[in-house]
């Protein structure tokens, strides 16, 4: 207890010196936390664009569908299966879908498109396509003979609400799939890949088009907590049996996982550079503090103070200063992270176009995950404590007579 009191009093004996050291720690935590928040926010945004808009947190498929995505590997999902899945405490909802490809044609142009058959009410409750309608109206029933066309695809085909869209493709077990449907709405997706390729059909209308009556290619499952995917997948797989394959989004879109891991690696290099910069900044303040206290250390050694006791007090002093600086840095970082979460950084012009070409939205929304603060705070705390070893080494090599002449 005596060492704690002495260390605490020594900190405030020279407030200016202590506050300068704390300020360097605060800036280190602030910079590293904000940078990590921006990086993790980008990853969350990439995942939300892909998972929240289309893929879902996990999917229930035919065991062979993932390797060979054809309608022949579709499956029948009844209400009892959906109820069994929805009974899981982590499941928010289940959306049946039938996905395939077809040639979409207007009056003058045509293009290969992804045709997605959806349950209008279930889809509206979870992925909210009705809120993405930029022109026209949403489906009114599951058997309505109508289509919703993605905005970019509609522009390419030069079609609009009220026009007719022709779909040509291959159906279930080699059946021909052809139909002409009135366009009742234009959908605007944030993800450019979807905005340029997707056509929505009501579920029964899509099943009729592909002669896949009562069949779906997947049941998309949304979770209350997206971070529980790895835990929920084996639990549902055990519950449903080998007749179905339960796949998490990490399996469904491995290229997204690879892109995030690759970017995280380059981001770690930038963080290491940042740690070096802030580390040298903290080292500078520690050197200054050590030089200022050289005479003090010399006097204490000369009057017989044990170097071990001085070492303990120095360690406690640096620990208190670092802990207070880390805590203050975390407190200052939090409002910055929240500000850029509610007011994301937006890109314009050619930069925005380049970002959209990679299938991302042209803005950066910072993450507000508190784990970032604790992780960066801990890293800076360790860096500072390692740097604080310098005054200990200096003190053990100190010659009292030379120090008191300083």
pLDDT of residue 115: 94
Better-predicted residue by pLDDT, 329 or 13: 329
pLDDT of residue 60: 92
pLDDT of residue 118: 92
- Beta-carbon contacts of residue 362 (< 8 Å; ≥ 6 apart): 346, 347, 348, 351, 352, 353, 355, 356
Residue keyed to tokens 């065991």:
63
Average pLDDT over residues 156-171: 93
User: pLDDT tens digits for 64-89?
Assistant: 998 898 999 999 888 888 888 988 99
- Residue 98: pLDDT over 90: yes
Contact, 190 vs 127, CB < 8 A? no
Q: Could you give the percent of the chain with pLDDT greater than 70? A: 89
CB count within 10 Å of CB 149 equals 29
Average pLDDT over residues 107-121: 92
pLDDT of residue 44: 84
What distance in Å separates the CA atoms of residue 183 and residue 94, rounded to the nearest whole number?
27
Question: For residue 208, which of 232, 234, 172 has the smallest C-alpha distance?
Answer: 172
Better-predicted residue by pLDDT, 382 or 349: 382
pLDDT band at 157 (very low <50, low <70, confident <90, very high): very high
What distance in Å separates the CA atoms of residue 178 and residue 165, rounded to the nearest whole number?
11
Average per-residue pLDDT in the chain?
84
Torsion of CA 274, 278, 279, 280, to 10 degrees: 110
- Look at strands 218-223 and 164-170 and give their pairing: unpaired
- Look at strands 91-105 and 110-118 and give their pairing: antiparallel
Radius of gyration from C-alpha coordinates of the chain: 31
pLDDT of residue 359: 55
Which of 150-154, 218-222, 304-308 is predicted with the least confidence, judged by mean pLDDT? 304-308
Does the global pTM surpass 0.75? no
pLDDT of residue 264: 83
- Residue 185: pLDDT over 90: yes
User: pLDDT tens digits for 38-57?
Assistant: 988 888 887 877 777 678 89
User: pLDDT tens digits for 308-334?
Assistant: 677 777 777 778 888 888 899 999 999
Better-predicted residue by pLDDT, 253 or 292: 253
Q: Calculate ∠ Cα 79-80-83, nearest 5°.
A: 85
Q: Phi/psi class of residue 341: alpha, beta or left (left: φ > 0; alpha: ψ in -120 to 50)?
A: alpha
pLDDT of residue 406: 57
- Residue 346: pLDDT over 90: no
pLDDT band at 59 (very low <50, low <70, confident <90, very high): very high
What DSSP line would sit under 107-131, residue for residue? SS-EEEEEEEEE-HHHHHHHT-GGG
- Residue 161: pLDDT over 90: yes
pLDDT of residue 402: 64
- Residue 9: pLDDT over 80: no
């Amino acid at each position: 207890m005596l060492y704690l009191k002495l260390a605490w009093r020594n900190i405030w004996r020279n407030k200016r010196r202590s506050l300068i050291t704390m300020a360097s720690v605060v800036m280190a935590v602030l910079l590293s936390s904000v940078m990590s928040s921006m990086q993790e926010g980008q990853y969350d945004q990439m995942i939300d664009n892909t998972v929240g808009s289309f893929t879902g947190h996990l999917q229930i498929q035919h065991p062979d569908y993932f390797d060979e995505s054809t309608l022949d590997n579709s499956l029948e999902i009844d209400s009892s299966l959906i109820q069994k899945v929805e009974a899981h405490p982590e499941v928010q909802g289940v959306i049946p879908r039938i996905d395939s490809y077809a040639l979409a044609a207007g009056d003058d142009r045509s293009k290969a498109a992804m045709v997605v058959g959806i349950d209008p009410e279930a889809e509206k409750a979870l992925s909210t396509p009705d809120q993405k309608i930029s022109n026209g109206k949403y489906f009114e029933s599951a058997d309505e003979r109508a289509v919703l066309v993605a905005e970019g695809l509609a522009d390419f085909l030069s079609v609009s609400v009220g026009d007719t869209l022709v779909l040509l493709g291959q159906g279930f077990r080699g059946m021909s799939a052809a139909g002409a449907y009135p366009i009742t709405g234009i959908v605007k997706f944030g993800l450019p890949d979807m905005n340029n390729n997707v056509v929505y059909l009501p579920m029964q209308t899509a099943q009729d088009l592909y002669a896949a009556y009562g069949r779906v290619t997947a049941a998309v499952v949304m979770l209350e907590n997206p971070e529980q995917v790895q835990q929920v997948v084996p639990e549902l797989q055990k519950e449903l049996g080998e007749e179905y394959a339960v796949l998490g989004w990490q399996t469904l879109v491995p290229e997204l996982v690879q892109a995030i891991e690759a970017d995280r690696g380059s981001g770690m290099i930038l963080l290491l550079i940042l740690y070096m910069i802030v580390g040298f900044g903290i080292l500078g303040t520690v050197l200054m503090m050590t030089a200022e206290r050289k005479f003090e250390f010399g006097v204490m050694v000369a009057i017989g103070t044990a170097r071990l006791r001085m070492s303990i007090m120095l360690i406690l002093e640096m620990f208190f200063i670092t802990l207070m600086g880390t805590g203050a840095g975390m407190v200052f970082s939090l409002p910055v992270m929240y500000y850029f979460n509610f007011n994301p950084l937006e890109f314009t012009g050619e930069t925005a176009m380049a970002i959209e070409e990679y299938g991302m939205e042209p803005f950066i929304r910072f993450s507000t995950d508190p784990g970032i603060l604790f992780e960066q705070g801990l890293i800076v705390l360790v860096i500072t404590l390692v740097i604080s070893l310098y005054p200990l080494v200096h003190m053990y090599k100190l010659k009292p007579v030379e120090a008191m002449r300083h």
